[in-house]
Amino acid sequence: MLTISRRTALKRLFQATTGASFLGPMASFLSHAQSLHPPLYDGVNPSSTGQIRHSVSRWPFSQIPLEEFCSQVKEFGIESVELVGPDEWPILKKYGLHCAMPNGADRLGLTRGFNDLALHDQLIQDYRRVIPLVADAGYDKLICFSGNRNGLDDEEGLENCAKGLKELMLLAEKQGVTLVMELLNSKVDHRDYQCDHTAWGARLVDLVGSDRFKLLYDIYHMQIMEGDVIRTIRQYSDYIVHYHTAGVPGRNEIDESQELYYPAIIQAIQQTGFEGFVGQEFIPSSDRPLDALAKAVEICTV
């Protein structure tokens, strides 16, 4: 196949501009360039994209009273406030908001999770209590965590997590609630956290073997751990039921000040056929956090 160097391309463009007609040669050149470089993604027709639904994590905006926050975010097209527990769900319902990713069973925190066999009895008790509450509230997901390694190798941690999660699948399936393990970085924010690579999380999903266990792909965290975000999203889309955003570096706004280009990432998510929620989880760096949130929603509406 013929290849065109950058120098040759520029030469052709220059020649075209000196001729009587610029548009004809330019159109011919662009058509040839496209034939040499077809679209990067051919798994889904880009015209048949899913519709992203907007959510926001509560904790980065906790300085704003919840009722005021709920009343404001609806104006931005946000449908959900997430990472809130049963005590606050009535406030969300008051304002007609969903909770795309509830919590409330994770009282042991991020560092103590399903990879620790000694914690299984407590975790199973907590999740068995909260799963029916989630279903009764009309929600269908519940967050969970692997916990820190604490000396466990990845294979042992994988087996331990699968053992504990399998104990909950019958109830989760009956109630129509998906347990969702979040992928977090262990390099900057959550050192020693075990579920820190997408491939590891996908292996866990396969081991658990239920449609009621999936992954939360946090774009910020996985950019730090893996990079290659768009290709990873495409490869593992069947394992992912929720996304989080934030800017890299710093975990602040997702605007032009950071290294990720979110319009392209959101488009890639849509091209997988995803129709779920993307949750904004950046930490506002300005004294106008709601303005930053409105801009983030605009950036992710493509």
Considering the domain architecture, whether residues 78 and 192 belong to the same structural domain is answered as: yes
Q: Specify the pTM.
A: 0.84
48 lies in a domain?
no
Gap between the Cα atoms of 102 and 216, Å rounded: 12
1 lies in a domain?
no
Measured CA angle at 83 (ends 108, 234), to 5 deg: 105
Considering the domain architecture, whether residues 30 and 178 belong to the same structural domain is answered as: no
Considering the domain architecture, whether residues 129 and 198 belong to the same structural domain is answered as: yes
Considering the domain architecture, whether residues 148 and 16 belong to the same structural domain is answered as: no
Considering the domain architecture, whether residues 199 and 133 belong to the same structural domain is answered as: yes
30 lies in a domain?
yes
86, amino acid identity: P
Give the domain CATH number at 122. Answer: 3.20.20.150
Domain extent at residue 143:
53-299
- The number of folded domains in the chain is 2
pLDDT of the chain along its 302 residues, tens only?
334 444 444 444 444 444 444 344 434 433 433 333 333 334 433 333 457 899 999 999 999 999 999 999 999 999 999 999 999 999 999 999 999 999 999 999 999 999 999 999 999 999 999 999 999 999 999 999 999 999 999 999 999 999 999 999 999 999 999 999 999 999 999 999 999 999 999 999 999 999 999 999 999 999 999 999 999 999 999 999 999 999 999 999 999 999 999 999 999 999 999 999 999 999 999 899 999 999 999 999 98
Considering the domain architecture, whether residues 288 and 147 belong to the same structural domain is answered as: yes
44 lies in a domain?
no
43 lies in a domain?
no
Q: Of the candidates 2, 83, 71, 137, which has an alpha carbon nearest to the alpha carbon of residue 290?
A: 71
Considering the domain architecture, whether residues 96 and 28 belong to the same structural domain is answered as: no
pLDDT number for residue 22: 39
Considering the domain architecture, whether residues 149 and 195 belong to the same structural domain is answered as: yes
41 lies in a domain?
no
Considering the domain architecture, whether residues 77 and 169 belong to the same structural domain is answered as: yes
pLDDT number for residue 27: 42
pLDDT number for residue 50: 56
Considering the domain architecture, whether residues 81 and 25 belong to the same structural domain is answered as: no
Q: Of the candidates 223, 290, 285, 229, which has an alpha carbon nearest to the alpha carbon of residue 257?
A: 285
Considering the domain architecture, whether residues 124 and 204 belong to the same structural domain is answered as: yes
Gap between the Cα atoms of 294 and 24, Å rounded: 42
pLDDT number for residue 37: 36
Considering the domain architecture, whether residues 62 and 147 belong to the same structural domain is answered as: yes
DSSP-H helix ranges across the chain:
6-18, 23-36, 66-73, 89-94, 120-136, 154-175, 198-208, 219-225, 229-235, 262-271, 289-299
pLDDT number for residue 14: 41
* Six-digit token string for 43: 């798994």
